[in-house]
Amino acid sequence: MSTVAIVTDSTASLPTSFYAEYGIDMVPYYVHYPDERIRRDVTEITSEEFVAYLAGLPDGSKLPTTANPGPGDYEQVYLKAAERSNAILSLHITSIGSGAYASALIGREMALAKLRDVRIEVVDTRNVSMCLGWMTLQAARAVQAGADLDAVRRLVLRMIPVTRMIQTADTLRYLYMGGRIGRAKHLLGSLLRIKPLISMDDGEIVTLGVARTRASAYQRMAELVRQAVGDQGRIRLALTYAGAEEDARMLSALVHDVVTVSETLLCPLCPALSVHSGPGTVGLCYTPTEISEPE
């Protein structure tokens, strides 16, 4: 048996090959289309396919909606993981705005009713996207290095308060179509070419201001990273994007110019996340290198 099984959900937006490479069990979200089709996030529709679908929607169209996995989905994954490990660490998107963490807690109780001598720990990471992805990846790497469940959990808890996301959208159109802003703001934002900057603080989305161009937005994002970690800071950096890989590479270069980056990943946003911001979304998720190392 392996020491610890690591479980996460598709909003981690890790490169898809990493799940098999690091032995991570991934539970997909659900994407509900307006025509009543239902697809499992990442596994039944790719990021590229979904971005192309979104880009083809006319103004006024209904957007797909998303749903977190249910308790039964998590129970099945826990039971399968228990076949190879008697310790399971399950990491999830912020519980504010998503029911994944609550579903995982119920799924844990359902699984434990059928298991003996198995320990399952469920953690609300208070984060999203590759912030969750970094915690998942570093947890899996710690397991490969021989860490036990308590040590891996401590690693994740150290990372939670210092792992940060900054993201900008190319347009306000999808926020309008999703009912998150009014049409007047959508039209004004489009006219002024406003690029909102958003982040997450203790599990909640917060605004960091706006920029007028993509280039100025990326420069501001790089500067915010420098201010947060200092000129001598060392970070692991993930660039997240929805149909904008070249822009993600541009942002990566700007960040590399101002801080030391020990590892860089390019990660397409999963459909369950990209539906809320649309094509052209570019973001970064970083975690301090030293804090994210196993004990």
Q: Are residue 39 and residue 142 in the same domain, yes or no?
A: yes
What would the pLDDT profile of 227-260 be if each residue is shown by its tens digit?
999 988 899 999 999 999 999 999 999 999 999 9
CA nearest 13: which of 51, 46, 56?
46
CB 248 within 8 A of CB 239: yes
Note whether residue 294 is domain-resident: no
Q: Are residue 108 and residue 250 in the same domain, yes or no?
A: no
CATH code of the domain covering residue 106: 3.40.50.10170
Of 140, 161, 182, the position where a domain reaches its end is: 161
* Contacts with 55 (C-beta within 8 Å, 6 or more apart), sequence order: 243, 278, 279
Total-model pTM: 0.92
Q: Are residue 181 and residue 58 in the same domain, yes or no?
A: no
- Cα–chain center distance at 111: 25
Of 106, 140, 161, the position where a domain reaches its end is: 161
Q: Are residue 122 and residue 174 in the same domain, yes or no?
A: no
Q: Are residue 90 and residue 9 in the same domain, yes or no?
A: yes
pLDDT in tens, the chain (295 residues): 568 999 999 999 999 999 999 999 999 999 999 999 999 999 999 999 999 999 898 877 788 999 999 999 999 999 999 999 999 999 999 998 789 999 999 999 999 999 999 999 999 999 999 999 999 999 999 999 999 999 999 999 999 999 999 999 866 666 555 554 444 344 344 434 678 888 888 888 788 888 888 999 999 999 999 999 998 889 999 999 999 999 999 999 999 999 999 999 999 999 999 988 888 999 999 999 999 998 7
Longest dimension (CA), the chain: 61
Q: Are residue 230 and residue 151 in the same domain, yes or no?
A: no
Please report the pLDDT score of residue 174 as a whole number.
64
Note whether residue 109 is domain-resident: yes
Total of domains in the chain: 2
Length of the chain: 295
Q: Are residue 110 and residue 36 in the same domain, yes or no?
A: yes
- Cα–chain center distance at 201: 14
Beta bridge partners of 268: 241
Note whether residue 293 is domain-resident: no
Please report the pLDDT score of residue 182 as a whole number.
43
Note whether residue 70 is domain-resident: yes
Q: Are residue 99 and residue 242 in the same domain, yes or no?
A: no
Of 161, 193, 215, the position where a domain reaches its end is: 161
Q: Are residue 275 and residue 169 in the same domain, yes or no?
A: yes
Q: Are residue 141 and residue 195 in the same domain, yes or no?
A: no
Note whether residue 262 is domain-resident: yes
For strands 282-288 and 164-168, give the pairing: antiparallel
Q: Are residue 111 and residue 85 in the same domain, yes or no?
A: yes
CATH code of the domain covering residue 257: 3.30.1180.10
Domain, as residue range, for 267: 162-288
Q: Are residue 12 and residue 154 in the same domain, yes or no?
A: yes
CB 109 within 8 A of CB 72: no
**Cα(161)–Cα(22) distance, rounded to whole angstroms?**
24
Q: Which residue has the tokens 């994954």?
A: 77
